[in-house]
Amino acid sequence: MYDNDISANHMEVGVGTGYLLDHCRFPTERPRIVLLDLNATCLQVAAQRIARYQPMQFQANVMAPVEIDVAPFDSIGLNYVLHCLPGSMVEKAVVFQNLTPLIRPAGILFGSTLLGGGIRRSWASRELMTYYNYWQIFSNRDDHLDQLDVALSEHFESHALEVVGSAALFAARVATQ
């Protein structure tokens, strides 16, 4: 997904360790990268990992309006974030509402999440999800594929959605104007 959808003007939301940004192929040697995460440690670790790109960092909660003073992006990555946020997929859809103002016309938001329902899962997957939800590492018990599909339809002009195991991979485009 990164090699196909990332742009030279990219925001990464929920940065983790920066591994994906460190290993993807940007379409230019000097991309503009902005990192956005609620966790200051994750921001610091990811920024150090991709220091060669001189990323900007912002600490913010994507469940609330994102109020940062930056020019919009051609791509936003949102990988393995939604299943960690509290609430149902219907409640988490506010993330799309909060991020779309940061995307240029015809820009793309791409990402992935682990689903709790609406898909076939193995016994091991069900047990692991139960454990992670019990300890509040994940909050995806009520995250269903059809709800994600509706949320993407409501916030984007077009989208693609694919399930691989328990993961939903998605790419969504905003309107051209």
Q: Are 143 and 133 in contact (CB under 8 A)?
A: no
Residue 86, number of CB atoms within 10 A of its CB? 9
pLDDT, position 25 = 96
What whole-number percentage of the chain has pLDDT above 70?
Answer: 100
Q: pLDDT digits over 23-72, tens only?
A: 999 999 999 999 999 999 999 999 999 999 999 999 999 999 999 999 99
pLDDT, position 64 = 97
Residue 133 to residue 145: CA distance in whole angstroms: 18
CATH of domain 2-173: 3.40.50.150
Query: Number of C-alpha atoms within 13 angstroms, CB side, residue 54?
Result: 4
Order of strands across the sheet with 167-173? 56-59, 32-37, 9-13, 73-79, 103-114, 167-173, 158-164
Q: Where are the domains of the chain?
A: 2-173
Q: pLDDT digits over 93-112, tens only?
A: 999 999 999 999 999 999 99
Query: What sign for the dihedral angle of Cα 162, 166, 167, 173?
Result: positive
Q: Does residue 117 surpass a pLDDT of 90?
A: no
SS3 readout for 124-173: HHHHHHHHHHHCCCCCCCCCEHHHHHHHHHHHCCEEEEEEECCEEEEEEE
pLDDT, position 118 = 83
